Structure 1
Amino acid sequence: MGGAGGGGGGAMRLSPCQAVLALAIALNLLVLYYVSRLQRRAARRPRERGPASAAPRPGLTVLLREFEDFENYVPEVARAFLRQRPAPPVLVVADAPPYPPLRLPPGPGPGARLLVLRPAADQPAAARRPEAHVSTEFVALVPDGARADGAGQLERMQEALRAERGSVRMVAAPVRALRPLQCLDLRVSLRRWAAEYRAAAAPGLCGALRGDAVVLLRARDLFNLSTPLARPLLTSLFVQTALRGWAVRVLDVSFPSLHQPLLTSSHNQWKADRRAQASRRRLFQDFGIKRVVLEDGREQWYGCSKETPRCFGTVHDDTPEYLYQDRWTPPCCLRALRETARYVVGVLEASGVRYWLEGGTLLGAARHGDIIPWDYDVDLGIYLEDVPNCELLRSAEAGSVVDEKGFVWEKAIEGDFYRVQYSEHNHLHVDLWPFYPKNGVMTKDTWMDHRQDVEFPEHFLKPLVPLPFAGFTAMAPNNHRGFLELKFGAGVIENPEYPNPARKRLDKGAL
């Protein structure tokens, strides 16, 4: 006990200096602890680059994207905008280094810079990302040949856009003396691979523009698009914004032009037109748009033809690839199937071959008067005994036959039936299934593992009756509802479903 008492009496006392030193050490350790925690938290967060990582600074960046290497006014356009006060940064964007090289003015402030989108092995990823080069709130998309004249157009456009609410996410000002500006509505359906332009319902409030204009939008909106600077720039921009429900308002503001016409020779104009057509074709192919309806009703097609392969590959489990992408049959494929079906029906009728709409093709005729929007071939039943009446079917027994219209007639390798392909390159097709009566029941020699591939009483074919289908009249069983419900089940006409619901089910809200 005495030892214990003696130990307590010898406790060390801290001097005031020692106490201050101990407190300082403790505070330093505490600071180090919290700094370490903050660093660990920051390391766990995804790193952000570009304007999204910091609040954008006021003002705008002038961005020039649409110009031709071989003849342009890009340096003059940049110089004109750099004369504004305050001078906006000017960013010139090209797919590859322009040739001949552009002589961009340095200008006050950041001046004009060139951004090349093509990857370069010696450059970091951010070097070719336009969002990493724009730190302003707004971006003005300026076409080649536009000129700023000091009338305050850019400031008025910024004020107008800040005042907008709702769906208006862009404002535009036409460029005088270039192509007249058209205000259009634009409807895009990725499910149907289609875009349709119409005259705008409300003057000055547009879904798309055709012509030359300066378009102003927020940088965050532009760079949140999937492909913000694809060419043709305005076509690409408005397809993407139409899918988001955005609108553009045309203001009572305009910009003068530097030169009219923009291209000074017919040869250069021809080169520019060809490049524009190629860019437009590539853009719609990249976006998966096969059919474009212009405001005057004309159609443009960007899908399969007789000279190109069909738009989708081999079908597995009765479910084509496009259904997994929540799309239906490309319209160019439906058009080719309609053309092939009409042609085959004409040949069969002229040859005295009895035929009828079969399976899903008959279902499409009963439900839509057309091919089912997600179907990928056409099926016809024929009487086996009538095959010798058709020279093309007889010839197909010995091998493929390309007829005078470019359609390919052949015996299918999968079994005892015939196939007519759209062309040698494009294998969209009509299948012809030879049936024969046996004790009053129609049967055949090749059966596929399809729900609808079953025998049926011959009385459905006596007589055959006309039925509208795909823009013409074809022959069909006399009681098509009874025929279809025998093959598919009750209520099949009123209750659409994809061919293999176990793989992919139809969203009924999409109809």
Structure 2
Amino acid sequence: MCLRLPQAVLALAIALNVLVFLCAWLRPGPSPRRRPPPRGGVPGVTVVLRDFEAFENDLAGTARSFAALPVPVVVAAETPPYPPVPLPASASLLLLQPDAARPPPRPELHVRTRHVALVPDGTRAAPALLENMRKALEEAADNATRLVAAPVGSRPLRCLDLRVERREWTARYSPAPPGTCRALEGDAVLLLRTRDLLALPFPLARPVGAALFVQAALRGWRLRVTPAAFPAARRAPLSPRGRRKAQELAETRRRRLLSELGVKREVLADGRERWYGCRKDTARCFGTVHAQTPEYLLAGRWTPPCCLRALRETARHVVAALEAAGVRYWLEGGSLLGAVRLGDIIPWDYDVDLGIYRDDVGKCRWLAAAAAAPVEDAEGFLWEKAVEGEFYRVHYSRSNRLHVDLWPFYARGEVMTKDTWLGHRQDVEFPERFLKPRVPVPFAGGTAMAPNNARAFLELKFGAGAVERPEYPNPALKRLERD
């Protein structure tokens, strides 16, 4: 039987299609892409060198010592160390400062082991000590123990308790009771699980110890200290210039760190305090207040302690100036509430309110001058007429606008009234009998004058039970009982 040409072409096409199908079916599929092991999924410990000075360090010796164990070594720095450091070939460099010309920093690509040890500059490796620390962490009886520390050198570590009062922006250190350790004094190697380190918002911030201890305290983590110590390298002391430079850098880093962590005051174990908030030469720690609710309240915090300190200082200064000039004044509104409840400013308040007799404004030279233009007194406080109406403000400084408001009242019959009302709940007229006489009360570390029946005065302004039932200024936006 002879095939015609069209039939032959069709048969050939069918055969080719079958052949292509068979080739595709029989060809092995593409090999699956190799995925990197999960973060912290490889057994072992990675040593991270973070706390060192670029200008004088023992980085090369420290890296060589631990690389010889051998364990992975990572040098973490914002930029490559300069002068250049001859690191061992097995050590990797993790650059933390973002650069538009390279991918963003990825610590998880450098630390692939289940555990990580943050090692101070000048430390020398000790056989089996990293492994003993790892076992101590994994064998801890409670889930709260998340860090293990070992001293470096012969100086013993001092164990401290640490409470971070986030609402008050305060880190409070104290001698640690037995079995409790949340912070250390002294050089130490710190070991923890990689997943814990990389879950922190600031995993490689400097200074390393302070950064880890504060973040750990916020999470309820505890610290275990092993008795065995790592040797310290014999190093020549820093030059006077290097020592001064290192101290300045350490202070700068600590301020930057605590600002990032939301800590504005440290109370040390010996009772001394360190402050990291606004000063006279800086702006205040919060912006313009809307609807009587500062932004820190919406973030679940109270007034920064540096602001409370500045408000107390400003209030005492204004009270002293008014009393020296013979100006009749009294605590108003929330400031009077604070005086009655605490003898102080309410912990979430953002200003101080004083009432004054309008007829007495001319007695105080600073108020009289401020009526025409802002004026700075001899101690750097700025007096001015408020732009919102007929009242005055005294600012902590030209830069820092924390302030005391002075509200001029005058008698209309037997009632005290004023010309500017801003719609606040406590903004009401009241009988002058509350001011005859005025009485002294403790306030803001000093004494200030107040209405003679403060409870009745406050209930007139805020309603019954105002003293016993604290509330935020604008409960419609934020309620105290929900904090």
Residue 61, structure 1, aligned to residue 46, structure 2: yes
Q: How far, CA to CA, are the matches of 2:134 and 2:422 in structure 1?
A: 64
Q: How far, CA to CA, are the matches of 1:378 and 1:283 in structure 2?
A: 31
- Write the letter of the residue equivalent to 2:192: L
- Which residue number in structure 1 is paired with residue 208 of structure 2? 233
Quote how far apart the aligned CAs of 1:503 are: 1.6
Relative to structure 1, the CA distance from residue 454 to residue 308 in structure 2 (aligned partners, 3 Å threshold; closer, same or farther) is: same
- Of the three residues 322, 327, 330, the one matched with 1:348 is 322
Quote how far apart the aligned CAs of 1:260 are: 4.0
Q: Is the contact between residue 39 and residue 194 of structure 2 (CA under 8 Å) also seen in structure 1?
A: no
Residue 185, structure 1, aligned to residue 168, structure 2: no
- Of the three residues 434, 438, 447, the one matched with 1:473 is 447
Residue 137, structure 1, aligned to residue 114, structure 2: yes
- Which residue number in structure 1 is paired with residue 152 of structure 2? 175
Residue 462, structure 1, aligned to residue 421, structure 2: no
Quote how far apart the aligned CAs of 1:118 are: 1.4
Quote how far apart the aligned CAs of 1:133 are: 1.1
- Which residue number in structure 1 is paired with residue 137 of structure 2? 161
- Of the three residues 93, 101, 110, the one matched with 1:122 is 101
Query: Can you list the C-alpha shifts for 1:266-307, whole angstroms capped at 9, x where unaligned?
Result: 211111111110000111111221111111111111111111
Relative to structure 1, the CA distance from residue 483 to residue 54 in structure 2 (aligned partners, 3 Å threshold; closer, same or farther) is: closer
Q: How far, CA to CA, are the matches of 1:416 and 1:234 in structure 2?
A: 52
Q: How far, CA to CA, are the matches of 1:266 and 1:50 in structure 2?
A: 47
Residue 368, structure 1, aligned to residue 342, structure 2: yes
- Of the three residues 358, 376, 385, the one matched with 2:359 is 385
Name structure 1 gaps, 5 residues minimum.
1-20, 43-48
Relative to structure 1, the CA distance from residue 50 to residue 477 in structure 2 (aligned partners, 3 Å threshold; closer, same or farther) is: farther
Q: Is the contact between residue 39 and residue 114 of structure 2 (CA under 8 Å) also seen in structure 1?
A: no
Query: Can you list the C-alpha shifts for 1:50-89, whole angstroms capped at 9, x where unaligned?
Result: 76x36612110011000011111111111111222xx110
Q: How far, CA to CA, are the matches of 1:394 and 1:57 in structure 2?
A: 74
Query: Can you list the C-alpha shifts for 1:369-418, whole angstroms capped at 9, x where unaligned?
Result: 21111110000001111112211111112211111111111111111111
What SS class does the counterpart of residue 137 from structure 1 fall into?
strand
Q: Is the contact between residue 436 and residue 444 of structure 1 (CA under 8 Å) also seen in structure 2?
A: yes
Q: How far, CA to CA, are the matches of 1:333 and 1:54 in structure 2?
A: 42
- Of the three residues 277, 283, 292, the one matched with 2:251 is 277
Q: Is the contact between residue 40 and residue 195 of structure 2 (CA under 8 Å) also seen in structure 1?
A: no
- Write the letter of the residue equivalent to 2:205: A
How big is the alpha-carbon RMSD for the aligned residues of Structure 1 and Structure 2? Answer: 2.2
Residue 318, structure 1, aligned to residue 295, structure 2: no
- Of the three residues 62, 65, 84, the one matched with 1:101 is 84
Q: Is the contact between residue 337 and residue 378 of structure 1 (CA under 8 Å) also seen in structure 2?
A: yes
Q: How far, CA to CA, are the matches of 1:359 and 1:170 in structure 2?
A: 48
- Which residue number in structure 2 is paired with residue 5 of structure 1? none
- Write the letter of the residue equivalent to 1:139: V
Query: Can you list the C-alpha shifts for 1:78-101, whole angstroms capped at 9, x where unaligned?
Result: 1111222xx110011001111111
Q: How far, CA to CA, are the matches of 2:100 and 2:319 in structure 1?
A: 58
Q: How far, CA to CA, are the matches of 2:126 and 2:312 in structure 1?
A: 56
Q: Is the contact between residue 82 and residue 89 of structure 1 (CA under 8 Å) also seen in structure 2?
A: yes
What SS class does the counterpart of residue 199 from structure 2 fall into?
coil
- Which residue number in structure 1 is paired with residue 260 of structure 2? 286
Q: How far, CA to CA, are the matches of 1:458 and 1:304 in structure 2?
A: 39
Q: TM-score, normalised by structure 1?
A: 0.86
Q: TM-score, normalised by structure 2?
A: 0.91
- Write the letter of the residue equivalent to 1:160: A
Q: How far, CA to CA, are the matches of 2:211 and 2:250 in structure 1?
A: 12
Q: How far, CA to CA, are the matches of 2:102 and 2:340 in structure 1?
A: 60
Listed as ranges, the matches of 1:396-407 within 5 Å are 396-407=370-381
Quote how far apart the aligned CAs of 1:455 are: 0.3
Q: How far, CA to CA, are the matches of 1:306 and 1:55 in structure 2?
A: 47
Q: Is the contact between residue 161 and residue 169 of structure 1 (CA under 8 Å) also seen in structure 2?
A: yes
Q: How far, CA to CA, are the matches of 1:437 and 1:457 in structure 2?
A: 9
> Mean alpha-carbon deviation: is it higher for 214-223 or for 159-168?
159-168
Relative to structure 1, the CA distance from residue 173 to residue 343 in structure 2 (aligned partners, 3 Å threshold; closer, same or farther) is: same
- Which residue number in structure 1 is paired with residue 462 of structure 2? 488
Q: Is the contact between residue 40 and residue 111 of structure 2 (CA under 8 Å) also seen in structure 1?
A: no
- Write the letter of the residue equivalent to 2:141: R
Residues matched between the structures, number = 458
Q: How far, CA to CA, are the matches of 1:506 and 1:446 in structure 2?
A: 29
Q: How far, CA to CA, are the matches of 1:321 and 1:227 in structure 2?
A: 23
Q: Is the contact between residue 50 and residue 131 of structure 1 (CA under 8 Å) also seen in structure 2?
A: no
- Which residue number in structure 1 is paired with residue 6 of structure 2? none
- Of the three residues 65, 70, 74, the one matched with 1:91 is 74
Q: How far, CA to CA, are the matches of 1:76 and 1:208 in structure 2?
A: 27
Q: Is the contact between residue 39 and residue 108 of structure 2 (CA under 8 Å) also seen in structure 1?
A: no
Q: How far, CA to CA, are the matches of 2:234 and 2:203 in structure 1?
A: 27
Q: Is the contact between residue 303 and residue 348 of structure 2 (CA under 8 Å) also seen in structure 1?
A: yes
Identity of aligned residues (%): 61
- Structure 1 runs (4+) deviating above 6 angstroms are none
Q: Is the contact between residue 39 and residue 113 of structure 2 (CA under 8 Å) also seen in structure 1?
A: no
- Which residue number in structure 2 is paired with residue 12 of structure 1? none
Q: Is the contact between residue 50 and residue 135 of structure 1 (CA under 8 Å) also seen in structure 2?
A: no
